[in-house]
Amino acid sequence: MMKPPTTLTRRSVFRAGAGLAVAAMATRPTSAQAEGARPAGAEAPNGDGFYRFKIGDFQATVISDGYGPIPIRPIFVMNASEAEVAPVLKANFMQPVIQVTNNILVVDTGRGRIVVDSGFGEIRGPSFGNFPALEANLRRAAIAPESVDLVVTSHGHLDHIGGFVTKSGALTFPKAQFVFVDAEWNYWTGSRYESEIDSSPMPDPFKKATIGAARDNLPPVAERSRFVKQGGEITTGVHYVAAPGHSPSHAAILFTSGNEQFMHMGDIAHHPVTSLQHPDWTPIFDYDPAQAIKSRKAILSRVAADRIMVMGYHFPFPALGHVVRRGAAYHWEAAQWVW
Ligand SMILES: [Zn+2]
């Protein structure tokens, strides 16, 4: 299980970080002047919020779910000191608080339209995870929510399932079937998760929102859900790849069309610098950090060796690129933008 912070220094930094995270994720800014708000007339992120690419014969699109500020420590890195992290941020031209997005993958296989993970939904507006913004970006990409056939879930965290149900209780993707790894579904609809989240090192608003997202978003889709064994086939050309640790049965998703493969890495890595250059650095959300590190290295080694394009759910939009091995660590080569 997750270990609580062990030093006074870490606790105090943790509190400072938690304060920022609360601002980012648990409160609703009340005006256009709120932190992170864009000026009027500039609502859409760069690239108009969507980016199309091909996986063999599949047509794929990445949709932005908005953005929000996240402090690198302790949210993305909880097990390294300020003295260790600061020079890495400096070398990579990064600030201690960065803008983070959720990237929603849509894949048209020719047999159906698949969405992988749903973002925060309406609970985190108005920028990070504002469903009207995701919906606007979907519609800009000519993808109607009612045209989605299948919603595939990497794991049961709030920023991946929070968009299943709207605030009014309606289904965001009203005609879709939902797919989960069976053990992941069982965990987030079972009796253990609430007390385990409560005793985790996450800031309190994260705990509350994580539990609330599972309660609000999973029961309403139970009857239209299908459950797949870890590592199993989801549909033709789409498989789960076991990558546990971040959550009990967290999984990546591998797409295959012709000779081409593409992997949605889920939350195996949260940032191209902190997760790839320092694969032993762990975010505050890991269920089993030691197992998460093992899974991270296994997946990164595999996609580096196979030289396949991948997506990092929280990487800078459009979150597409390749992983290159560098000794015991990795390097991110962002895909070149095709206009
Ligand atoms: Zn996530």
Instruction: List pLDDT tens digits, range 130-184.
Output: 666 677 788 888 899 999 999 999 999 999 999 999 888 899 999 999 999 999 9
Contact present, 285 and 330 (Cβ < 8 Å): no
Centroid of ligand 1 to alpha carbon of 227 (angstroms): 21
Residue 38 pLDDT class (50, 70, 90 cuts): very low
**Ligand 1 center–CA 298 separation, angstroms:** 19
Q: What is the pLDDT, as a whole number, of residue 137?
A: 80
Number of neighbours of residue 338 by Cβ within 10 angstroms:
9
pLDDT at 136: 78
316 C-alpha to ligand 1 centroid (Å): 13
Q: How far apart are CA 182 and CA 248, in angstroms?
A: 11
pLDDT at 35 over 90: no
Which sign does the torsion angle of CA 121, 180, 224, 187 carry? Answer: negative
Give 13 Cα–ligand 1 centroid separation in angstroms: 22
12 has pLDDT over 50: no
Q: What's the CA-to-centroid distance between 113 and ligand 1, angstroms?
A: 22
Residues with Cβ within 8 Å of residue 157, at least 6 apart in sequence:
210, 213, 247, 267, 285
8 A C-beta contact, residue 274 and residue 84: no
Query: What pLDDT is stored for residue 135 in this prediction?
Result: 79
User: Does 21 score more than 70 pLDDT?
Assistant: no
d(CA 191, CA 183): 13
CATH class held by domain 43-334: alpha beta
Question: What pLDDT was estimated at residue 129?
Answer: 60
- Average pLDDT on 81-90 reads 98
Q: How far apart are CA 332 and CA 335, in angstroms?
A: 9
Distance 168 CA to ligand 1 centre (A): 24
Residues around ligand 1, an ion, CB closer than 5 A: 159, 267
Residue 252 host element (H or E): strand 251-257
| Centre of ligand 1 from the C-alpha of residue 161, in Å | 10
Q: What is the pLDDT of residue 133?
A: 66
pLDDT of residue 140: 83
- Cα(246) to ligand 1 centroid in Å equals 9
